[in-house]
Amino acid sequence: MTKSNGSRRFSKRAIDIEPFRVVEILARAKELERQGREIIHLCAGEPDFSTAAPIREAGMRAISEGCTGYSEVGGIPKLRQALSEFYAEDYGIHVPPEKILITPGASGGILLICALLLNPREAMLVTDPGYPCNRHFMRLVEANAQLVPVTAQDNFQLTPELINQNWKENTVGAMVASPSNPTGTTLSRDDLKKISILLKKLGGHLIVDEIYHGLGFKKDIPSILEIDPNAFVVNSFSKYFGMTGWRLGWLVAPEDAVKEMEKLAQHLFISLSTPAQYAALACFEERTRIILDKRREIYRERKDFLLQALISLGFSVPCVPEGALYIYTNASKFTEDSDFFCMELLEGQGVAVTPGTDFGLIGAKQHVRFAYTADMDLLSSAVDRIAKMAC
C-alpha cells in the first residue's frame, strides 16, 4: 500500500525504531575500505579473533555428518545439558536443563523475554546509557523502555534507590547488564541481592544480561542465578565463546516461563541453527576453554593499554571497565557532538568508534565508546591517529 504522496506506508512501530549507529558507521567504514583506505575498527562489539578451532571443527563435522535439519525448538538436549554442567562447574549452582532455552543469539532471547513479559504500554526499567536494542525490542512489542539516567556515581548501573524513584504503575520489571555495554561496569553480589529483594517486594521481574560473563577483569562477577534462581538471565555464545556469526545464545528462566517462551519460539524461529548447536558443544571442552581464557587475558592487556592512552590524550574515563570489550569515555574536552566527532575521526583518520548517542540520551553527545577489538599494533596506531585529532 502506498500513501497519497506516492511513498510506501510502513508501520509507526517500524518508523519509531531508530537505526543502530554502530551499523551505519561500520557501513561507511566498509565503503572507505573499498576505496582503498585502511580503517582501524574499534567500533563493533565483536571479538576480532575468529571462532576457536575446536568449535569450528565441531561445526564442520556436524555439517559433513548431515546434521542440517531443524532441531528441537528449545535447543538440542545435549547443549542444554552441557550448559547445565557449565553452571555447576563455573558457578557452583544447579540449573536444570529444563530452565535453559537455546536462542538465536542473546538478541533472540531478549525478544522472547519482551514478548513474554510486556503488555502494550507497560514498561521495563533500563539504564541510560545502555544496550540500545533493548529499548527497540520493547517498542516492537508496543511497550516502553523506561530509561533511567545512570551516572558514574552509580557505576552506570541501576540501584535500589533509582528503581524505587522510577517505578510506576505500569512498570513490570528491570533489565540490567553486568558487565554492561557500553560502560563495562558490573553489579556486585550485594548490589544484585538488594535489587532482587526490592523487585520481589515490588512484584516485578528481574532480567540480567550476562553476555559479557567470561570477559571480566575482576575475580567475583556473580551470576544473578547464584542469588535469585527465579531471575531471567540472557546469555550468548557470541562474546567470550567468540561465535558471533553462528547466532546462538541462551536464556535461563523459571520452568513455566521457558515453556511459554518455547511456544513463542515455535512461531518466531521454529528452530535454531543445528550445526551451530553441535559446534557450541565444543565450547565446554578443556582445550577450548584454555584458548578462550587466553583471549580474555589479551583483552585485559589491550584494555589496560588503551585506557592509559586515552586518558593521556585527555579523554576522561569516569568508571574503569571491569569487563566486556569497551571503554566508555567522556570526550567533552574535544566535542559536544559525538556523532560529528566519530564521523570526523573515521573520515579524517580512519578510526571507527561509536558515539554515545547509540546508547541513550544522557550525556550522549559528550561520550564515545572505544572497543578494544584490534591487536596491540593496530591499537597503538589508532592512538597515534586519534592524537592527531585530539590535540
Is residue 236 a contact point for ligand PLP (CB under 6 A)? Answer: yes
Out of 157, 178, 185, 244, the only residue in the binding site for ligand PLP (CB under 6 A) is 244
Round to whole Å and give the CA distance between 72 and 387: 52
Is residue 106 a contact point for ligand PLP (CB under 6 A)? Answer: yes
| Cβ 186 to ligand PLP shortest distance, Å | 13
Q: For ligand PLP, which stretch binds (CB under 6 A), given 105-113, 140-148, 168-176, 185-193?
A: 105-113
Using an 8 Å Cβ cutoff, are 213 and 221 in contact?
yes
Q: Which is nearer to ligand PLP, 209 or 228 (CB)?
A: 209
| Cβ 178 to ligand PLP shortest distance, Å | 10
The residues, ordered by sequence, that sit 6+ positions from 76 with a Cβ below 8 Å of its Cβ are 102, 274, 277, 278
Q: For ligand PLP, which stretch binds (CB under 6 A), given 65-73, 149-157, 236-244, 299-307?
A: 236-244
Is residue 211 a contact point for ligand PLP (CB under 6 A)? Answer: yes
Out of 81, 107, 170, 188, the only residue in the binding site for ligand PLP (CB under 6 A) is 107
Q: What are phi and psi of 40, to 5 degrees?
A: -100, 125
Q: Which is nearer to ligand PLP, 131 or 334 (CB)?
A: 131
Beta strands in 232-375 (DSSP E): 232-236, 249-252, 326-330, 351-352, 354-355, 367-371
Binding-site string for ligand PLP from residue 34 to residue 73, where x marks contact by CB under 6 A and - marks none? -----------x----------------------------
Is residue 238 a contact point for ligand PLP (CB under 6 A)? Answer: yes
Identify the residue whose cell numbers are 592524537: 387
Q: Which is nearer to ligand PLP, 233 or 383 (CB)?
A: 233
Binding-site string for ligand PLP from residue 265 to residue 304, where x marks contact by CB under 6 A and - marks none? ----------------------------------------
Q: Which is nearer to ligand PLP, 76 or 215 (CB)?
A: 215
Q: For ligand PLP, which stretch binds (CB under 6 A), given 11-19, 103-111, 117-125, 311-319?
A: 103-111
Q: Are strands 351-352 and 40-41 parallel, antiparallel or unpaired?
A: parallel
Is residue 131 a contact point for ligand PLP (CB under 6 A)? Answer: yes
Q: Which is nearer to ligand PLP, 183 or 329 (CB)?
A: 183
Round to whole Å and give the CA distance between 195 and 165: 13
Using an 8 Å Cβ cutoff, are 39 and 373 in contact?
no
| Cβ 37 to ligand PLP shortest distance, Å | 25
* Residue 293, all three cell numbers: 581464557
Distances from the Cα of 265 to the Cα of 35, 205, 247, 310, angstroms: 42, 20, 15, 43
Is residue 209 a contact point for ligand PLP (CB under 6 A)? Answer: yes
Using an 8 Å Cβ cutoff, are 185 and 219 in contact?
no
Beta strands in the chain (DSSP E): 40-41, 100-103, 123-128, 144-149, 171-177, 205-209, 232-236, 249-252, 326-330, 351-352, 354-355, 367-371
Cα–Cα–Cα angle for 161, 128, 139, rounded to 5 degrees: 110
Q: Which is nearer to ligand PLP, 130 or 350 (CB)?
A: 130
Out of 47, 75, 97, 105, the only residue in the binding site for ligand PLP (CB under 6 A) is 105
DSSP 347: I
DSSP 129: S
Instruction: Summarize as ranges the residues that interact with ligand PLP (CB under 6 A).
Output: 45, 105-107, 131, 177, 181, 209, 211, 236, 238, 244, 249
